[in-house]
């Protein structure tokens, strides 16, 4: 990278607020924004800007304060290696999973398998058309798991949308046999209450447990009735996945969880979980559950037990995801302010909302507590048309340091250090400029994960990116090799 990129970013950090304040202010409320769920089947588009506001944005680009439309900027220690645009699957790109030389990329229309044996030139191995947002994807052995969180006419890959008010509608988990990566076979389906927004695997030798996160029940939905205060636990026998079945629905919020507004203005009411991350080597899990953050034991995977629960009714609107550090003495929770459909990386929103919350885990056993230490948010302001918020990321495995790579939608990919829980700092980044200057648009990295020496990112609109990170702080991670990675099933990177 040339020095031009670094110079542009310095100017942008110092000058963007003055140049674009009017642009930002028109789109955001003065008080805390009400949290909404993820975009669902429809990306956030259509919020137009006036001609004068577009002129302000254009001037900011001209002055080097923000990147130009689709312009790529990055820090000196990141090198973009490849970008593979969308092909047959035209929906929003979503989550990623990895196994050996393969990457599995979710899309609202199905999933795509890449051969990443040469990271500079990934090759498409298969594309499976199977519509059903979000199509959150995980793999374990010969099985691939796909979440369906939109009401469908049936459980087939040929289904169509159908109102959730109809009893015959279907949402839940789909299971594929991927023993032949070029020809995945759909082998099983399990319907779950309120669908499957995300899911998390707890692998065992003969079976795989699947924790299904879903939320937003409604009395008019026959298969998604309130209260919906827990998660579905599915047991999948590896040798006979067609026998997959729900074995429990543990109640995580016997008191109903965070009541949300009007008691806690701007905070989501808890009606289930958005995402769960497990650390099987420590029998621990962390749950991001709308208005609540959880720490729980999974010693008995069919019966998870709550250890501690926290809320942040000042700055967190929607507890979205969780990541442990390697020592399991910290958890990073993300806040998806605006539900992944708003521009929140600007001075009006500030550094504490739509951010990461870093919590230390103190104490022992069932007496452990989550103790808040600080917030982290990228300090690279974005245009008012750029949906930007904390999203999915993973640990970068370096002994003695807590390093993470994370997606921020149109805020790009951020690499940051939280070894000091109270003083996190960004150490690398990659991002594209606005997709548009005349309408708010959902785009940018949905997930950004570190796997076997490279960063892989699934950009909602632009496709599959591969980045190389060269930095003395992260270089030791290049020696760590994993046979499989589902980020929500965090491995012990140094004991496998």
**Structural tokens at position 282:** 């420590």
Q: Is residue 492 part of a domain?
A: no
pLDDT digit string, tens, across residues 16-69: 333 333 333 222 322 222 333 344 334 444 556 566 667 767 777 887 788 999
- Distance CA(242)–CA(79), nearest Å, equals 44
3-state secondary structure of 321: strand
Specify the residue for token string 């543990």.
250
Question: Running DSSP on this structure, what letter comes out for residue 53?
Answer: H
Cβ(261)–Cβ(34) under 8 Å?
A: yes
Q: Is residue 490 part of a domain?
A: no
Q: Is residue 496 part of a domain?
A: no
Mean pLDDT of 119-123: 98
What is the band of 73 on the pLDDT scale with cuts at 50, 70, 90? Answer: very high
Count: domains in the chain: 1
Q: What is the largest CA-CA distance in the chain?
A: 62
| Residue range of the domain that includes 365 | 3-485
3-state secondary structure of 59: helix
Residues belonging to the chain:
496
Q: Is residue 493 part of a domain?
A: no
pLDDT surpasses 80 at 1: no
**Structural tokens at position 302:** 């069919």
What is the band of 3 on the pLDDT scale with cuts at 50, 70, 90? Answer: very low
What is the band of 323 on the pLDDT scale with cuts at 50, 70, 90? Answer: very high
Contacts of 240 (CB under 8 A, 6+ apart): none
Closest to 487 (Cα-Cα) out of 426, 427, 404:
404
Whole-model pTM: value is: 0.92
pLDDT digit string, tens, across residues 277-307: 999 999 999 999 999 999 999 999 999 999 9
pLDDT digit string, tens, across residues 437-475: 888 889 999 999 999 999 999 999 999 999 999 999 999
Q: Is residue 494 part of a domain?
A: no
Q: Is residue 37 part of a domain?
A: yes
What is the band of 367 on the pLDDT scale with cuts at 50, 70, 90? Answer: very high
CB atoms within 10 A of CB 73: 22
CATH number of the domain residue 18 falls in = 2.130.10.10
pLDDT score, position 362: 98
- Distance CA(207)–CA(182), nearest Å, equals 24
What is the band of 71 on the pLDDT scale with cuts at 50, 70, 90? Answer: very high
What is the band of 206 on the pLDDT scale with cuts at 50, 70, 90? Answer: very high
Q: Give, in degrees to the nearest 5, the angle at Cα 151 between 251 and 187.
A: 85
**Structural tokens at position 203:** 């692998």
CA 131, 132, 138, 139 torsion-angle sign: negative
């Amino acid at each position: 990278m040339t020095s031009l990129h670094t110079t542009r970013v310095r100017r942008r950090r110092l000058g963007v607020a003055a140049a674009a304040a009017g642009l930002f202010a028109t789109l955001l409320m003065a008080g805390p924004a009400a949290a909404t769920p993820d975009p669902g089947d429809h990306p956030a588009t259509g919020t137009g800007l006036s001609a004068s506001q577009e002129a302000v944005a254009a001037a900011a680009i001209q002055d080097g304060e923000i990147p130009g439309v689709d312009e790529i900027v990055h820090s000196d220690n990141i090198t973009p290696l490849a970008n593979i645009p969308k092909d047959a699957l035209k929906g929003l790109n979503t989550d990623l999973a990895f196994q050996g030389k393969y990457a599995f990329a979710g899309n609202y229309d199905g999933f795509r398998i890449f051969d990443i044996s040469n990271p500079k030139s990934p090759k498409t191995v298969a594309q499976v058309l199977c519509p059903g947002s979000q199509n959150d994807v995980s793999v374990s052995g010969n099985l691939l798991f796909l979440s369906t969180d939109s009401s469908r006419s049936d459980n087939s890959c040929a289904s169509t949308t159908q109102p959730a008010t109809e009893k015959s509608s279907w949402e839940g988990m789909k299971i594929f046999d991927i023993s032949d990566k070029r020809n995945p076979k759909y082998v099983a389906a399990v319907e779950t209450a309120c669908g499957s927004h995300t899911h998390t695997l707890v692998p065992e030798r003969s079976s795989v447990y699947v924790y299904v996160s879903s939320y937003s029940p409604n009395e008019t939905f026959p298969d998604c009735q309130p209260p919906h205060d827990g998660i579905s636990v599915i047991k999948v026998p590896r040798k006979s996945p067609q026998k997959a079945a729900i074995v429990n629905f543990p109640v995580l919020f016997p008191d109903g969880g965070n009541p949300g507004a009007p008691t806690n203005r701007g905070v989501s009411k808890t009606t289930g979980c958005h995402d769960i991350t497990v650390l099987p080597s420590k029998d621990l899990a962390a749950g991001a559950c709308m208005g609540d953050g959880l720490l729980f034991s999974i010693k008995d995977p069919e019966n998870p037990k709550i250890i501690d629960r926290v809320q942040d009714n000042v700055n967190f609107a929607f507890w979205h995801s969780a990541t442990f550090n390697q020592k399991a003495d910290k958890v990073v929770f993300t806040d998806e302010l605006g539900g992944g459909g708003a521009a929140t990386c600007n001075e009006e929103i500030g550094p504490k909302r739509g951010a990461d919350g870093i919590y230390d885990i103190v104490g022992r056993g069932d007496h452990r507590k989550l103790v808040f230490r600080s917030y982290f948010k990228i300090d690279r302001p974005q245009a008012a048309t750029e949906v930007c918020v904390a999203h999915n990321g993973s640990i970068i495995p370096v002994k003695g340091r807590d390093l993470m790579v994370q997606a921020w939608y149109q805020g790009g990919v951020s690499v940051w250090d939280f070894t000091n829980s109270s003083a996190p700092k960004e150490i690398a980044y990659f991002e594209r400029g606005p997709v548009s200057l005349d309408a708010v648009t959902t785009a940018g990295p949905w997930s950004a994960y570190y796997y076997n020496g490279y960063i892989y990112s699934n950009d909602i609109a632009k496709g599959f990116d591969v980045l190389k990170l060269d930095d003395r702080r992260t270089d030791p991670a290049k020696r760590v090799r994993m046979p499989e990675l589902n980020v929500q099933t965090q491995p012990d990177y140094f004991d496998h």
